[in-house]
Amino acid sequence: MIPDNIISEAENLRELIRYHNRLYYAEDRSEISDGEYDTLMLRLMELESRWPELATEDSPTLRVGAKPLSRFPSILWDPPMLSLDNVFSVEEFIEFDRRIRHELKLEDDPVYSVEPKLDGLAIALIYENGVLQRAGTRGDGSEGEDVTPNARTLRSIPLKLSSDLSGNLVVRGEVIFRKNDFQKMNKERKSLGLEPFVNPRNAASGSLRQLDSRITASRPLSFIAYGTARWPGGIASQHSLLDLLARLGIPLNPCNSLCRGVDEVEIACRRLEENRDELPWEIDGAVIKLNEASFQERMGTLSRFPRWAAAWKFRAEEAVTRLIDIEIQVGRTGKLTPVARLEPVFVGGVTVSSATLHNEDELCRKDARPGDKVIVRRAGDVIPEVVRSLGRPDGERGEKFEFPRSCPVCNGPVAREEDASAHRCMNPSCPAKLRESLFHWGSRDALDIEGLGSKLAEQLVDKGMVKDVSDLYSLTRPQLASLDRMGGKSADNLIKELEESLSATLQRFITGIGIPGIGRTVSGLLSGRFSDLQKLMDAGVDELLAIEGIGPVLADNLHRFFNEKITRDVVNRLLSVGFKPRGSGAGDGSQPLLGLTVVFTGGISIPRSEARIMAEKAGAKVTGSISSRTDIVVAGPGAGEKLRKAGELGLEVISEDEFLKLIRDGGYLFAKHK
């Protein structure tokens, strides 16, 4: 039997802790120190530990976290949690307002709720009869991750609402870090020798989505509400909805305002933008909503956006600093990115010492050189970038940065893709991209090696078992069985898959080695032209250019790949382990659609992805739109606009059965084959 005085003390402690949580998170003030708060919490934990029957489903002690999960369960949202369409200027908002007044046939200016757009992670909280039951992230809008144990650790989220409420209430809002909490946490991490978090937005998302809720509990996250999934009974406007949430003890943004018409909205947004540094949390714009519930319902929603709301995005903050040097970073896909090393400068709430210059085209356009003064901003308030160069005060400038022709990591050849600005290392065994190369090598479009996924590729590289793509073929059963989630049977299956891949076609082999710009379609063209790999490796640029569908950039990339020592050696090592990739050869009839462009429309009985693969194996290029360059349209039941356009252009239209017969039998002649 629990003594009455103990029961009373526990109830009083719970109410007192909830009261101080509401003060701090809903009203942004406090009456006690952190130490005094901790004393209250420790006493309640002591009582509930000694008398477990005292614990309630809404006790503040639940905020300490629970044992780790293996994964997050799914949670479904109905209605969906939509994103917002953006406006970037008063002119764009005028057009938004004009459309609303026109569709609602309003004579007077509508009233809008203008609210700071918080920069965090969107979540929803499900309350039943006033008690928190579930919480989940937005996800794709229709399905998110159930993070209930983690959400319970946030002191700003009431486990029990302060007023009696019957039925179901789904509260939507953002999980964020207050600026002072974020800075304090980073200071503590540095003192412990841990890497500080770069920005509050990403840190908030990562902290709430920890499988171990005890980690979430250790981080000072906050929740701010902005609405509900459905209008509660008796609520007819956004303003009255926010009043209800405040009465329930749910934290809100204190800077919300009501505005009539465009002029008042513009003033409110400008005021928020000018004062954003003084706010307790990061914002990247303002959310503007029709205030009247009936107006929102009449405007309705699109598949992704509500038509009654918009996000007015603010300009990214900028600062001036000196560009010390330009370096090239090689990403996991082999992409070369120029990065500016800067004198540290505080911008957008963080200290920035490096910033992206994106690619060679942007580098040339901005003409940034070491020694220059440059303007820096946080693109999207997240990624630092160099906006432009201001030159040097003395007028003297350094040499222009020359983009490298070889990879700074492996010294392999670098290629620029056709109609693209990115440069990529062509060496599939480059250490910077080896994980991605192995994953691509085993993908369905390439060698189709079941079991060679991204996780396994990562383990093979991290443990030093594979340093070159050809090393895959010398892996042993004991080596593979020692890896996580493998075991003997999985090791045997993978070795069998690797052995079978040695008989891959030339098309799959070329796709697998991952030459920039050379996917399965172009590989099919090459396979149809060359009878074996050696003939392709020995082909000159002019011979490659003679193949329809291959332009100067692709021809040059192919020729360089097979003639640069580093990349040619990769191919030779693959040949030495047993590969003998052969093509179909020109004109042998095994690729009846060679060089043709195919479009599928309407319903067909086989999955569209399989139909695409079949067409590409037959040498075709598959596109999603009709044009004068389309050769064949495969039309099924329900074909509409594309079929009509095909008729206008006089294109060849065939049925699914005719397509399958063509693939199976070949010999179907079109103009390009005559």
Mean pLDDT per 10-residue segment, the chain (674 residues): 82 82 65 74 79 75 60 88 89 94 94 93 93 91 90 91 84 94 89 80 86 89 95 94 94 93 95 88 92 95 89 84 93 90 82 87 89 81 80 85 92 82 91 94 88 92 95 95 90 94 90 88 85 92 88 90 95 95 60 78 83 78 81 88 88 88 58 34
- φ, ψ of residue 474 to 5 degrees: the values are -115, 5
Q: By the 8 A CB rule, do 111 and 260 touch?
A: yes
β-strand partners of 635: 601
Q: What is the pLDDT of residue 613?
A: 79
β-strand partners of 105: none
| 553-570 CB burial, b ≥16 within 10 A, e <16 | bbbbbbbbbbebebbeeb
Query: What are the Cα distances from residue 20, in Å, to 17, 36, 182, 501, 631?
Result: 5, 11, 21, 65, 71
Q: What is the pLDDT of residue 62?
A: 63
Q: By the 8 A CB rule, do 135 and 305 touch?
A: no
Residues whose CB falls within 8 Å of the CB of residue 645, separated by 6 or more in sequence, listed in order: 626
Neighbours of 647 (CB within 10 A): 11
Max CA distance (Å), the chain: 98
CA 206 and chain centroid, separation? 13
H helices of 105-236, in order, are 148-151, 179-191, 200-208, 213-217
Q: Phi/psi class of residue 525: alpha, beta or left (left: φ > 0; alpha: ψ in -120 to 50)?
A: alpha
Q: What is the pLDDT of residue 589?
A: 45
Q: Which tokens hold the place of 446?
A: 């390439």
Residues whose CB falls within 8 Å of the CB of residue 610, separated by 6 or more in sequence, listed in order: none
Q: By the 8 A CB rule, do 512 and 447 touch?
A: yes
Q: What is the pLDDT of residue 7?
A: 83
Q: Which helix (H) or strand (E) holds 225?
A: strand 221-228
DSSP labels, 330-357: E-TT-EEEEEEEEEEEEETTEEEEEEE-
Nearest Cα residue to 593 out of 627, 632, 626:
632
Q: By the 8 A CB rule, do 226 and 253 touch?
A: yes
Q: What is the pLDDT of residue 672?
A: 36
Q: Which tokens hold the place of 572?
A: 């030779």
Please tell me the pTM assigned to this model. Answer: 0.52
Handedness of CA 239, 242, 247, 251 (dihedral sign): negative
184 is catalytic: no
β-strand partners of 281: 178
Report the residue count for the chain.
Answer: 674
**Euclidean distance between CA atoms 429 and 570, whole angstroms:** 7
Residues whose CB falls within 8 Å of the CB of residue 111, separated by 6 or more in sequence, listed in order: 258, 259, 260, 290, 291, 292
**Euclidean distance between CA atoms 482 and 472, whole angstroms:** 15
C-alpha angle 15/20/26, rounded to 5°?
Answer: 115
Residues whose CB falls within 8 Å of the CB of residue 188, separated by 6 or more in sequence, listed in order: none
Q: Decide: helix, strand or coil at residue 54.
A: helix
Q: Which helix (H) or strand (E) holds 262?
A: helix 261-274
- φ, ψ of residue 444 to 5 degrees: the values are -60, -40
Strands 221-228, 597-601: pairing kind? unpaired
**Euclidean distance between CA atoms 512 and 595, whole angstroms:** 21
Q: By the 8 A CB rule, do 261 and 97 touch?
A: yes
**Euclidean distance between CA atoms 396 and 402, whole angstroms:** 18
Domains of the chain and CATH, by start: 4-64 (1.10.287.610), 86-313 (3.30.470.30), 318-391 (2.40.50.140), 426-584 (1.10.150.20), 597-673 (3.40.50.10190)
Q: Which helix (H) or strand (E) holds 424?
A: strand 423-425
- φ, ψ of residue 36 to 5 degrees: the values are -65, -40
Catalytic residue among 67, 117, 187, 463: 117
**Euclidean distance between CA atoms 672 and 254, whole angstroms:** 68
Q: Decide: helix, strand or coil at residue 413.
A: strand
Q: By the 8 A CB rule, do 158 and 56 touch?
A: no
**Euclidean distance between CA atoms 146 and 152, whole angstroms:** 12
β-strand partners of 301: 306
Beta strands in 237-331, from DSSP E residues, in sequence order? 257-260, 283-290, 309-313, 318-330
